């Protein structure tokens, strides 16, 4: 008996459960990479905020006369 035959001959709820489990496994495989990307974005955001603060401080110290 092939897997396809088993899937098609199984009741809808069983086929649906198999599909949902496969989808869950796929999402779980994607989570570590998504976490890495999220952390990279947070780090980039903080670096940009820091650069903005530094530039604002520089402009204030120069009294707005920045060329």
Written as one string, the DSSP assignment of 31-60 is HHHHHHHHHHHHHHHHHHHHHHHHHHHHHH
Q: pLDDT tens-digit profile of 5-36?
A: 566 777 888 888 999 999 999 999 999 999 99
Predicted local distance difference test score (pLDDT) of residue 67: 62
Average pLDDT over residues 54-66: 85
Mean pLDDT of the chain: 88
pLDDT above 90 as % of the chain: 63
Rounded CA separation 46/40 (Å): 10
DSSP 64: T
Predicted local distance difference test score (pLDDT) of residue 4: 53
């Amino acid at each position: 008996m092939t897997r396809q035959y088993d899937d098609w001959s199984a009741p809808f709820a069983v086929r649906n459960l198999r599909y949902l489990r496969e989808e869950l496994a796929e999402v779980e495989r994607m989570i570590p990479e998504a976490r890495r990307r999220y952390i990279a974005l947070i780090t980039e955001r903080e670096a940009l905020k820091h650069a903005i603060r530094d530039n604002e401080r520089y402009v204030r110290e120069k009294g707005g006369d920045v060329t």
